[in-house]
Structure 1
Amino acid sequence: MPCRTTAGFALMLLLVACQPALNWREARPAGSGAVALFPCKPEIDQRQDKGLAQCEAAGKRFALSWADLPDPTQLSAALKAMPQSLATKLGQPLPPAQALQVPGMTPLPEAAEYRLAATAGVARVAVFAHGGRVYQAVMTADADDVAAWESFRAGLAIEAAR
């Protein structure tokens, strides 16, 4: 699996090595234009202009969704709406955003990651875009697993960037 730097590769190996219950593998969901590191073989549901790759492992659900916007001027609004929608669904306020960098993404200030805690568990979400396409990566679990989230998030890239 190609990595951007030797340090990045070392970090990825360390994170993956600390999670023996998760079997990490690179996935390139058809039609997504993205590369993701999943801890299980994802099921892929693809429709015109949108798709979802998801799997469940060790009591955690991992998902990467994507959608093409008919109007690229709506990217910022979409990136704001996606995590807000998840927070509303969980009955939680949206916490402050943390900066997010995904190799190959279009640099937008709304590209961010969030940690949402709810009575039923924890959800982590990252939103980013490339061209006129928006992406949302989500991990949900009964308890927070920072190492699993970091592995999943660090494995995200726009396919041309790998």
Structure 2
Amino acid sequence: MLLAAWFMLAACSPSLNWRQVEGTDAPFVVLLPAKPSTLSRPIDLDGRQVTMSMTATEVDGVTFAVGVIVLPDAALAPKALQAMKLALVRNINGSIESEQATNTSSSFDIVAIGNVGRSQESVRLLAHFAARDQRVYQAVMIGPGRAISAMGADTADTFFTSFKLH
């Protein structure tokens, strides 16, 4: 009976298999909870065509991702960070619940909520934005609000505190 209860508990909890991942085209390191995929594609960032490289994985409906854009000039970074933030929030038809500066002038964190899809499912977005030289970064955890809550604060903490620029 105890063994059956343990298997039921194990089936209900997220299977997080943390691994250290280094950026292939950008100098960063992060812990991701499953084997990631990496892709690059052109995007429109506030009227400027840029290429975003994305390293991402999904566990239990929650996506963990790091996106990187290389700008032609480091002076464009502050505006690019704001554009990245607004694009992410707009993608979930959301609003920012909280925003906080971090220990440097070129990084900040947000929490946003929104609704997506035909069912207008509630989505939660946790994101960290940073810039170094000509590169701008977004580390994102996004998924159904209930799925992110089920993973707990420790999961978000592990992901975001592991994200480092070299």
Same fold judged by TM-score > 0.5? Answer: yes
CA shift, 1:59, in A, is: 2.1
Q: Hey, what's the Cα distance between the residues in 1 that align with 2:24 and 2:68?
A: 11
Do the aligned partners of 2:96 and 2:113 also contact (CA within 8 Å) in 1? no
- Letter of the 1:88 counterpart: R
- Letter of the 1:108 counterpart: S
Structure 2 length as normaliser, TM-score?
0.73
2:44 equivalent to 1:37? no
Q: Which structure dedicates a bigger proportion of its chain to strand?
A: 2
What secondary structure sits across from 2:126 in the alignment? strand
- Letter of the 1:45 counterpart: L
Q: Which has the higher contact order (CA 8 A, sep 6+)?
A: 1
Cα distance, 1:150–1:50 mapped onto 2, change above 3 Å: same
Residue 15 of structure 2 corresponds to 21
Residue 148 of structure 1 corresponds to 155
Structure 1 unaligned regions, length at least 5: 1-18, 102-106
Do the aligned partners of 2:98 and 2:112 also contact (CA within 8 Å) in 1? no
CA shift, 1:150, in A, is: 1.2
Counterpart of 1:158 (choices 145, 154, 165) is: 165
Cα distance, 1:118–1:20 mapped onto 2, change above 3 Å: closer
Structure 1 length as normaliser, TM-score?
0.74
CA shift, 1:43, in A, is: 0.4
What secondary structure sits across from 2:25 in the alignment? coil
Q: Hey, what's the Cα distance between the residues in 2 that align with 1:154 and 1:64?
A: 13
Q: Hey, what's the Cα distance between the residues in 2 that align with 1:20 and 1:97?
A: 27
Residue 4 of structure 2 corresponds to none
Structure label with greater radius of gyration: 2
Structure 1 consecutive aligned stretches of length 4 or more whose deviation exceeds 3 Å: 46-50
Residue 92 of structure 1 corresponds to 94
Q: Hey, what's the Cα distance between the residues in 2 that align with 1:95 and 1:20?
A: 25
Q: How many residues align?
A: 135
Do the aligned partners of 1:64 and 1:135 also contact (CA within 8 Å) in 2? yes
Deviation string 1:59-115 (CA, Å, 9 cap, x unpaired) is: 2111101011112111111111111111122222334411235xxxxx325x11111
